[in-house]
């Protein structure tokens, strides 16, 4: 077990939503945090509200130089770095064939390449001293799939596989790596999306539940894939051995396909505009 008190932790995408909830939970457990986000004013305001020495820094995870600068700033602020939480991400929703190639590329840059780059840079520091922990916030869409979210699914599947590969590669090194796979989390990311009652009951959760899982993984120092809520894991693992036609049929009958196909476009407009505009 690792004592959270005094740990120095950097969190990407920390201005709001899951990132902010993770920061709040870690501070409550005694950690010190540095938050990075492309929304500079928002992340600085969040850090000020959190108090307890939290710092907010501009970070564009689509830019490797920005990631390096953020990790340097976090290290300077905290006096070192023990844990990196890769949380920043976007989720454009729409048919793949009409998705703008620039949006496809941006999603991969943020949701995948940002994770790879930050993991390489922080992982090198951790490996040099023989301890550290990287927590990658993936998604249930990193083990399953949903229509109208093809690029997002591709990126999150890659993050889950990447984390699993490094778990093997880093075994015995003292550096842990975890992948957290939430279901649908009630944040801006799912604006305009509505899950059917059955799915809403078992597969949707508040960001605080994800934050609790992150704190638990860091405390235990484990390298593994974690599903939040637990029912997400039951669905993911339970569907793996089943024939694809059966899995698809159950998905449609449960209404799962409607989550990303029957959207409230007006409710999602602000998020889509900011995502597509690179903010």
Which stretch of 95-104, 220-229, 243-252 has the lowest confidence by average pLDDT?
243-252
pLDDT for 6-50, tens place per residue?
Answer: 999 999 999 999 999 999 999 999 999 999 999 999 999 999 999
3-state secondary structure the chain: CCCCCCCEEEEECCCCHHHHHHHHHHHHCCCEEEEEECCHHHHHHHHHHHCCCCEEEECCCCCHHHHHHHHHHHHHHHCCCCEEEECCCCCCCCCHHHCCHHHHHHHHHHHHHHHHHHHHHHHHHHHHHCCEEEEEECCHHHCCCCCCCHHHHHHHHHHHHHHHHHHHHCCCCCEEEEEEEECEECCHHHCCCCCCHHHHHHHEECHHHHHHHHHHHHHHCCCCEEEECHHHHHHHHHHCCCCHHHHHHHHHHCCHHHCCCCCCHHHHHHHHHHHHCCC
Please pick, among 126, 152, 227, 271, the residue that the annotation labels catalytic: 152
pLDDT in the model for residue 265: 80
CATH of domain 8-277: 3.40.50.720
At residue 279, the pLDDT reads 47
Annotated catalytic residue 271: no
151-202 pLDDT, tens digit each: 999 999 999 999 999 999 999 999 999 999 999 898 887 887 777 776 777 7
pLDDT tens column, 85-138: 999 999 999 999 999 999 999 999 999 999 999 999 999 999 999 999 999 999
pTM of the model: 0.93
List the domain boundaries for the chain. 8-277
């Amino acid at each position: 077990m690792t004592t959270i008190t005094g740990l120095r932790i950097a969190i990407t995408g920390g201005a709001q939503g899951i990132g902010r909830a993770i920061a709040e939970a870690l501070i409550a457990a005694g950690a010190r945090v540095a938050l990075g986000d492309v929304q500079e004013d928002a992340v600085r305001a969040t850090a000020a509200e959190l108090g307890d020495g939290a710092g907010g820094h501009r970070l564009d995870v689509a830019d490797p130089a920005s990631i390096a600068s953020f990790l340097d700033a976090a290290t300077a602020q905290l006096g070192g770095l023990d844990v990196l939480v890769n949380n920043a991400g976007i989720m454009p929703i729409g048919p793949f064939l009409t998705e703008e190639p620039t949006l496809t590329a941006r999603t991969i840059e943020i949701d995948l390449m940002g994770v790879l780059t930050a993991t390489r840079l922080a992982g090198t520091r951790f490996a040099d001293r023989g301890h550290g922990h990287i927590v990658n916030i993936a998604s249930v869409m990193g083990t399953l799939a949903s229509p109208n979210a093809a690029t997002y699914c591709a990126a999150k599947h890659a993050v889950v596989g990447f984390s699993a590969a490094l778990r093997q590669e880093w075994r015995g090194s003292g550096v842990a790596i975890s992948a957290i796979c939430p279901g649908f989390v009630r944040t801006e990311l799912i604006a305009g999306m509505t899950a059917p009652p059955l799915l809403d009951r078992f597969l949707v959760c508040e960001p605080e539940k994800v934050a609790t899982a992150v704190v638990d993984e860091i405390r235990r120092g484990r390298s593994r894939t974690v599903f939040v809520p637990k029912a997400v894991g039951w669905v993911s693992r339970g569907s793996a051995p089943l024939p694809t036609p059966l899995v698809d049929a159950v998905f449609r009958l449960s209404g799962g396909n409607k989550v990303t196909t029957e959207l409230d476009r007006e409710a999602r407009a602000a998020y889509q505009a900011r995502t597509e505009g690179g903010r």
